[in-house]
A and B are shown apart, each in its own frame.
Chain A
Amino acid sequence: MALWVLLVGLACGPCAAQPDWPNDESQIKAAFLYKFAGYVDWPEGFLGSVETPFTIGVLGADPIADELVQIVQGRKIHSRSIVVSRLKAGDPLEDVAILFVGKGDAARLKPVRGTLQAQPILVVTEEPAGLALGGMINFLLVDRHVRFEVALAPVEKSGLRLSSRLLAVAQRVHAEGR
């Protein structure tokens, strides 16, 4: 039992202080963002060498960025250390592997949608029209639980590969982008 507690502690360092799964939406979304990386394959060479940090860009969602910084501490994605990059509108998307676009900022995606989709960047949004605006994964709230939906078309265009296991737990999977 002691081992189990230890394991839990290790596994869930950032959330150990909380008695239950974090209700806080930002915290959950930050955790999901981190976890998505495990089910996605980037094209070879895009992530650079192992020394190059894995960058998650967060646009206009500081609470989530804050949580994310906590979560990624000491963790690795695809054998790389993780960097959380807080972006503002107009910032270049250099080295960004995952781009999270906060509520209200998704509209900005639409103009750059073509450019974005030419690059293997996983775009995650959190509003009802997120996928239509160019998002690949979009957070939803179902029965007060955070869930997500996936649009396959933009993913395929970008050259990313999503694990079917991820799709299995998605609330909805759209074959075509909106």
Chain B
Amino acid sequence: MLNAIARSLRHKFALAMLAATFVSLSVAGTALALYELQAYKQNVTSDLLTQAEILGRATGPALAFDDHKSAEENLSLLETRRQIRAAAIYNARGKMVAQYRGAGAHAEHKVPALPEADGVRLQDGELVVFKRILENKEIVGTVYMSADYELAQRFRGYLGILASVMGLSLLVAAGMSAWLQSALTKPILAVTNVARQVTERKDFSLRVQKTTKDELGYLADAFNDMLSEIGRRAEDLETANRALEREAQERRRADQDVRQLNAELEQRVSQRTLQLETANQELESFSYSVSHDLRAPLRWIVGFSEALMEDHGANLDDEARRKIQIIQNEGRRMGVLIDDLLAFSRLGRRALKVSDVEMGVLVLATWNALKEREDFSRVQLHIGAMPVATGDRVLLGQVWTNLLSNALKFSSKQENPRIEIGAITDDQEHIFFVRDNGAGFNPKYKAKLFGVFQRLHDTSEFPGTGVGLALVQRIVHRHGGRVWADGNLGEGATFYFTVPRESRDGAV
């Protein structure tokens, strides 16, 4: 029942109507009953007082002249007043001279033997009055009357009337609400019905039939407009959805194509890499064996030219000796070149032995080793604070050797050669640099600095094989670092290399 009320507008409407009727009737009925009961009390009281007064007046002469019969006759007139239960007349000295019992009086109802003080009071459900009788300003007796005072009965009667009126009103209200419902709720229910169908079937072509021209009619119109609008939107949305879906499909296809292409590319790259690696290895082993094989004939050339000088030097003229000397020098130079090339190609094969390396110590050791070969007392060396780097001690030593000898070589022709070594550390890597005030280089050829056999200066000017910086680059790259250089012709050069703080075993 409660659910039905909660769900249906119809029931709510009926309930509201009935409730309003019930409440208004209850309030009005209660107010009326209270007023009526109050009025009843006042009426009964004043009525009884009036009757007592009239009876007293009428009975005055009878008492004055001691006429009991006349007093009784007066009392018997009360028969017309049914609500009077009993009455009595007392003379001036309190003796009862006449009494009356109404038809409704109980058998045990007793008329007081003596009169009491004037006044009205309630006593055992009846109203009792005593009233003095005055004749010529003298008290000649007393009237006693008792009357029905049935407030409860009257109240019950009222409740009965109220209940029947209320029942009737509720019936009428129910009927009215049923009648009004068809006028008020039918259009709403029609809208609700269509709304439910639309929700269930998703059919936006349904329409509510407009039956009235009031707000409900407007509601129906608005609902219909809304339905058509929703229908149109839904169609648009569906079209857009379809287009989107098509687009998505195309994209998926394109994506797939790209992925396929990528895979193919990757495969090709790996193939090429493999080929390249193979070629590289072949090349390295080739250059190694070539270098290795070149050393034996070279030794012979150098060795025999030395033997020639020792055994036949005295027989040769100066020109011949000079030429033999040239052969010896160039032969040795070629030996150095071959050694460098061997070292370079070995580097590709050698595994890194990584450990913590005190770079400051390493730089000093390198410097001292270089000093033993040549006298660098002229050179001003400045070494800054150096960190501990992670890497292969031997290879890093090679880096320092190459860079330092490079710097020494190119600054040797200065009057006051100066070499500065330092390091900068950020959160990712250590940056080391070697700065000299030597010959410098043309920035145009910066890119060629680190290539094998790339030389920016003539060998006669600065001797060298052209392998040193290539070796440096290779070692640094294997440590995962970078190399670069700054400089200008005649203004010195600065060579930088980095070592990552996180050690990693990179491969060339």
Chain A positions within 8 Å of B, measured between CB atoms, are 3-4, 7-8, 11-12, 20-21, 28, 32, 35, 37-39, 77, 145-148, 163, 165-166, 168-169
Contacts and interface: CB of A to CB of B under 8 A. Distances in A.
Contacts of A166: 61
Interface string B29-53: 0000000000000000000000000
Interface string B79-95: 00000000000011111
A146 B64 CA distance: 12
Contact of A8 (B62, B65, B93): B93
B62 A169 contact: yes
Given A4-B115, A165-B60, A35 B139 contact: no
B64 A4 contact: no
Contacts of A148: 65
B67 interface: yes
B392 interface: no
The 10 closest A-B pairs by CB, nearest first: A38-B136, A169-B61, A165-B61, A169-B67, A11-B139, A169-B65, A35-B64, A169-B70, A169-B62, A11-B92
B97 to A, nearest CB: 9
A35 B136 contact: yes
Contact of A28 (B66, B92, B136): B66
A28 B58 CA distance: 21
Contacts of A39: 61
Contacts of B93: 8, 12, 21
A168 B67 CA distance: 10
Contacts of B57: 165
Best-buried of A3, A11, A28, A77 by chain B (most CB within 10 Å):
A11
A163 B58 CA distance: 12
Nearest to A38: B136
A3 B136 contact: no
B374 interface: no
Contact of B138 (A11, A20, A21, A169): A11
Nearest to B135: A38
Contacts of B62: 168-169
B94 A4 contact: yes
Nearest to A76: B137
B117 interface: yes
B469 to A, nearest CB: 148
The CB with the most chain B CB atoms within 10 A, among A39, A147, A169, is that of: A169
A20 B70 CA distance: 19
Contacts, number: 52
Interface in B136-167: 136, 138-140
Contacts of A7: 139
A8 B94 contact: yes
B356 to A, nearest CB: 132
Most buried by A among B64, B70, B91, B115: B64
Contacts of A168: 58, 61-62, 70
Contacts of A8: 92-94, 139
A146 B66 contact: yes
B345 to A, nearest CB: 153
23 contacts: A3-B117, A8-B92, A11-B138, A11-B139, A21-B66, A21-B91, A21-B93, A35-B65, A35-B135, A37-B136, A38-B64, A38-B135, A147-B65, A147-B67, A148-B65, A165-B60, A165-B61, A169-B61, A169-B62, A169-B64, A169-B65, A169-B67, A169-B70
A37 B95 CA distance: 25
Nearest to B67: A169
Contacts of B70: 168-169
B113 to A, nearest CB: 13
B53 to A, nearest CB: 14
Given A4-B94, A11-B139, A168-B62, 4 more contacts: A4-B115, A145-B66, A168-B58, A169-B70
Contacts of B91: 21
A100 to B, nearest CB: 16
Given A4-B94, A21-B91, A168-B70, A32 B65 contact: yes
A3 B60 CA distance: 21
A77 B137 CA distance: 10
Interface in B318-363: none
A39 B140 CA distance: 14
Contacts of B64: 35, 38, 169
Interface string B10-42: 000000000000000000000000000000000
A4 B117 contact: yes
Contacts of A169: 61-62, 64-65, 67, 70
B207 to A, nearest CB: 93
Contact of A12 (B92, B135, B136): B92
A35 B61 CA distance: 9
Contacts of A32: 65
Nearest to B117: A3
Contacts of A77: 136
A2 to B, nearest CB: 11
Contacts of A4: 94, 115, 117
Nearest to B71: A169
A32 B63 CA distance: 11
Contacts of B117: 3-4
Nearest to B62: A169
A77 B135 CA distance: 12
A55 to B, nearest CB: 18
A165 B58 CA distance: 7
